[in-house]
Amino acid sequence: GQNIDQPTEMTATEGAIVQINCTYQTSGFNGLFWYQQHAGEAPTFLSYNVLDGLEEKGRFSSFLSRSKGYSYLLLKELQMKDSASYLCAGMDSNYQLIWGAGTKLIIKP
Amino acid sequence: GAVVSQHPSWVICKSGTSVKIECRSLDFQATTMFWYRQFPKQSLMLMATSNEGSKATYEQGVEKDKFLINHASLTLSTLTVTSAHPEDSSFYICSARVGAGVTEAFFGQGTRLTVV
């Protein structure tokens, strides 16, 4: 079956660094997406990885290891506005997105 | 990025009535749109894939007679929740992708439905 696993909740301090992990199992693989979702709002796109390695985009970076079925989202210099849920989604061979339950990130001053 | 507009943002309706939610792609044509439901603290659950000019494809366990989907044009898909009940109260989100294959999904703003 297809499955995406990520932690339910994480807490970090403003200004610090946090890494949100995601493991995936999909029927075929066409890449791994990360989205940010603030409470009561729709998700917004953060990153896409299909090749192994690290993709850096400002304060946010995303890493993929296809052999391990593993990805992480790294957030640096945390700001209060980064408090949100972070959704990991794998794209299968039919180009369907398989969504994780999301990781709620709580930023403390 | 591409823009997907969803309307209304929130709606409160009486049990037994029907509610229509619209999803529009504003600056691109979407042959396929996706309808999701999200309960608090849970993941996005795909309800159905809406295909322009043909019948929607529903996920297992989703009642097609209760959740009517119409994708009449390349820029508009509608979801109608018929005979709504309190258990249908949820956050409904549509999304569309530009083109086929590996493309990011753009989401509408979501609709908070409360059935009283």
Cβ-Cβ contacts under 8 Å, A42 against chain B: 6, 93, 95, 107-110
Which of A30, A41, A87 lies nearest to residue B110, judging by beta carbons? A41
Q: Give pLDDT tens digits for A60-100.
A: 999 999 999 999 999 999 999 999 999 999 999 988 889 99
**Closest among B102, B103, B91, B100 to B35, alpha carbons compared:** B91
What pLDDT does B33 receive?
A: 92
Tell me if A50 and B1 make a contact (CB, 8 A cut-off): no
What pLDDT does B32 receive?
A: 86
More confident residue, A20 or B40: A20
Q: Give pLDDT tens digits for A21-51.
A: 999 999 999 999 999 999 888 899 999 999 9
Which of A31, A43, A48 lies nearest to residue B107, judging by beta carbons? A43
Tell me if B112 and A101 make a contact (CB, 8 A cut-off): no
Look at strands B67-73 and A32-37 and give their pairing: unpaired
Cβ-Cβ contacts under 8 Å, A31 against chain B: 102
Q: What is the mean pLDDT of residues A55-62?
A: 95
Cβ-Cβ contacts under 8 Å, B45 against chain A: 99
pLDDT per position in chain B (116 positions), as tens? 688 999 999 999 999 999 999 999 998 888 889 999 998 878 889 999 988 888 899 999 999 999 999 988 889 999 999 999 999 999 999 999 877 777 778 899 999 999 99
**Closest among A15, A45, A4, A8 to A107, alpha carbons compared:** A15
What pLDDT does B51 receive?
A: 84
Cβ within 8 Å of residue B40, ≥6 positions away: none
Amino acid letter at B97?
Answer: R
